[in-house]
Structure 1
Amino acid sequence: MYKIKINNMKFHSYIGVYEEEKKIGQNIEIDLIISLSKEIIKNDDINSTLSYGDCYRKIEEIVKASRVDLLETLALDIIKEIKEMNEKIEYVQVNIRKLAVPINGIFDSVEIQIKD
């Protein structure tokens, strides 16, 4: 088994429960971990493995198109799409942080994590 990790991707999104979140948007951060079978590494050829560049572009595409209410839904959409990229994927883990949340309190962010 080996893992591909992309850490702290930053996007402007239009997801959230409140209309203002969908109207003006907000910044989110995403971490991705993909676990793959070692047999995917056959040689020194990008075509024989999973490109992290392709993974980044897929996530960017999903975030730009998404208008869901919940971070959890966005994470599940990302997991589904990433898993479809290669049959050697054992699991995908997604962490999503929302940096500005309408909660009266002092904190850096809220975060969800889903692994499937």
Structure 2
Amino acid sequence: MYQITMHNMRFHSHIGVLPEEKVVGQNIQIDLKVAVNAVPADDDLKSTVSYADFYPTVANVIQNNRVNLIETLAQIIIDAIKNIDRRIAAVNIHIRKQGTPINGVLDDVEIEMEH
């Protein structure tokens, strides 16, 4: 087993509870760690999982979902990544939501989920 990690994927989303979050949206950053239960053989991509499939899968989920909670978004992304290949054993995701409507000074709000 080994892990594939993608850092700081960036997207514009319309996720949030407040109406203005659904209209204006906000930037989010995503880190993805995928545990793969495979043994690469003979330098052949078919013997492993292609990480090139991860970014478009995440982008598609974000484009097609306007959920209220980033926790819900995280679970949808985890499910979508795990559906790419049966050799994906686990997915860990960090989602950072920037520009959150919180009365205070902070860079972002982040959740972490693994399944």
Q: TM-score, normalised by structure 1?
A: 0.94
Q: How many residues align?
A: 115
Aligned-residue sequence identity (percent) comes to 46
Larger deviation: 42-51 or 85-94?
42-51
Query: Match for residue 99 of structure 1?
Result: 98
Residue by residue, what CA displacement relative to the aligned partner does 1:16-43 show, whole Å, maximum 9, x if unpaired? 101111111110000000001243x123
Q: Which segments of 5 or more consecutive residues in structure 1 lack a partner in the other structure?
A: none
* Distance apart, 1:89 and its partner CA: 1.4
The code of the aligned residue for 1:52 comes to Y
Q: Which residue of 2 aligns with 1:114?
A: 113
Unaligned runs of 5+ in 2: none
Large movers: runs of 4+ above 6 Å: none
Alignment of 1:15-94 (within 5 A): 15-39=15-39, 41-94=40-93
In the TM superposition, residue 111 of structure 1 has moved relative to its aligned partner by 0.2
8 A Cα contact 2:38 2:47, kept in partner: no
Cα distance in 1 for partners of 2:21, 2:35 equals 33
SS, match of residue 62 in structure 1: helix
Rounded Cα–Cα distance in structure 2 between residues aligned with 1:81 and 1:35: 14
Q: What RMSD in Å do the two structures reach over aligned CA positions?
A: 1.0
Structure 1 counterpart SS, 2:3: strand
Q: Deviations over 1:43-76 (max 9, x none)?
A: 3122322111111110011111110000000000
SS in 1 for 2:73: helix
Aligned to 2:34, the other structure's residue is in SS state strand
Whether the aligned pair in 1 keeps the contact of 2:49 and 2:87 (CA below 8 Å) is no
Residue of structure 1 equivalent to 2:8: 8
